[in-house]
Amino acid sequence: MKQQPGWVLPNLREAQKRTHQDSKIEKALFSIPAQCQGVGQGKRYYLRTYGCQANERDSETLAGILEALQFQPTEDVQEADLILMNTCAVRKNAEDKVLGEIGHFKHLARQREDLVIGVCGCMAQEENIVETLLTKYRHVNLIFGTHNLHCLPELLYQVMVGHETCVEVYSKEGDVIENLPVRRFGRHKAWVNIMYGCDKFCTYCIVPYTRGKERSRRMEDILSEVRTLKEEGYREITLLGQNVNAYGKDLGIEGGFARLLEETAKIGIDRIRFTTSHPWDFSDEMIEMIAAYENIMPFIHLPVQSGDSEILKIMGRRYTIEEYRTLFDKIMTRIPGCAVSTDIIVGFPNESDEQFEHTMEIVDYCKFDNAFTFIYSPREGTPAARMRDNVPMEVKQARLARLNERWNSYALEKNTAYEGRVVKVLVDGPSKKNESAYSGYTETNKLVNFSAEGAAAGDIVEVRITQARTWSLHGELVSREK
Ligand code: 5AD
Ligand code: SF4
């Protein structure tokens, strides 16, 4: 790959370093330079998002910027003038899928010389991926990373007007930028970033390299965003961070996340959720806040990753399985009926049968409401990717199948306990096929499908559960409490 003047390529070694400087909170960094104004006039963009909620929220910013440049959205890739892929790097199979999709765009690029095909998000932060894109996917003409969304107007200008392939990926995180435009995709539920990056460096995980060091937003900026959302009629917000428990540490706010939860709850928005929390620094104060405020939802995503303390140690998770169990018990005692979901990796390098059985045991113990289970995927540049691995893929696959069967049986058991109960549901909307079939989520984050005449998206209604399934509940409307 030949480096071109002006290109800024990613560098994983640089991305690993952490500066001791505090990040600046920039309130005026984003503006649309005069020459970029209206660059999207008469043009359409197609935006695809992969991966986690941080990416979903970034896509809302990308859409906000594009619409400020006068682009119109389209869901039909054939009619797009700009295709933007906001990607995820957490596992290889997700990356392969994206590369496959990008491959399909080659014929579009052949038909349309002025088509802009952009790749951003976590894959753009990886050296090997950028090299692959620049050598084998030469129809991609725009690559930028997770730290410079605010530069999109200039980058687009270079590609669209200057007809250059543009690569700008900063390996070091930048400042916290507060004034970016946003086009929210939901009308009743909103994502609210509270911090960016991750400093945990779990040995299997690429995120600390692709998203940079932990940087918190100022509490007053977050609260003011939540107030505005409430005024705009939003009923639910989800506070977002790779590890929300660390909120405020970089700003010197001790017990930062518990305080933020309390201040957010006092604003009085109907439903508050948060994700993701790390079992290691999940404080008693956080548990007390969830217990104390009715509008903080009794649902916690608490990734365990493995049920074996030795594997947890090699993963760099900083807790033993006994500590996880103690935390789980504390949560269930203080917040009765709380739903807990988890993430689990099977087939970490050299995981023995016995170590895997420990994972089955923690599933038996916690009976998670939901679980996201993955086969370990080596990520270039991470410490685990350098470990020798003696576990054959067939063994990993068999473990995953057993694990899924086990947690599914508990999810069904948990859901069955809802039968006959009346629960509050925030309505997402009627189904496209049948206007009297609605869906929404309970406070404990369970999907409910129910029948009703004339309910509306954004209502909080009461539903009697008539039937439980593994991944959803079915019921009928009881009352329309607003
Ligand atoms: N391989 C498999 N799963 C991974 N995750 C993160 N990195 C990897 C990897 N290299 C999973 C973890 C994490 C979730 C978001 O993705 O379970 O909690
Ligand atoms: Fe990855 Fe661990 Fe950070 Fe989660 S806490 S993003 S698993 S390094």
Q: Which atom of ligand 2 is nearest to the CA of 208?
A: 8
- Closest ligand relative to 278 C-alpha: 2
Give residue 15 CA to ligand 1 midpoint distance, Å.
Answer: 19
Q: What is the per-residue pLDDT for 482?
A: 55
The neighbouring-strand residues paired with 240 are 193, 275
End-to-end CA distance of the chain: 59
What number of other Cβ atoms are within 10 A of residue 464's Cβ?
Answer: 16
For ligand 2, atom 2, name the residue with the nearest CA.
202
Q: What is the per-residue pLDDT for 481?
A: 66
Q: What is the per-residue pLDDT for 95?
A: 95
Residues in the chain with pLDDT < 50? none
> Is residue 53 in contact with ligand 1, taking CB distance under 6 Å?
no
Give residue 202 CA to ligand 2 midpoint distance, Å.
Answer: 6
How far are the Cα atoms of 56, 311, 404 from residue 353, in angstroms, in the given order?
37, 12, 16
| Backbone φ and ψ of 201, nearest 5° | 50, 50
Give residue 90 CA to ligand 1 midpoint distance, Å.
Answer: 6
> Is residue 200 in contact with ligand 2, taking CB distance under 6 Å?
yes
Q: What is the per-residue pLDDT for 453?
A: 85
For ligand 1, atom 9, name the residue with the nearest CA.
377
Return the residue matching tokens 């977050």: 222
Tell me if 166 is assigned to a ligand binding site: no
What number of other Cβ atoms are within 10 A of residue 294's Cβ?
Answer: 11
Domains in the chain and their CATH numbers?
A: 12-168 (3.40.50.12160), 186-297 (3.30.750.210), 330-416 (3.30.750.200), 422-479 (2.40.50.140)
Q: What is the per-residue pLDDT for 15?
A: 87
Structure tokens at 177: 């930028």
> Is residue 265 in contact with ligand 1, taking CB distance under 6 Å?
no
Q: What is the per-residue pLDDT for 278?
A: 96
> Is residue 90 in contact with ligand 1, taking CB distance under 6 Å?
yes
Tell me if 88 is assigned to a ligand binding site: yes
Contacts for 250 with CB less than 8 Å, ≥ 6 apart = 22, 23, 213, 214, 215, 216
CA–chain centroid gap for 439, Å, is 22
Structure tokens at 430: 């009627």
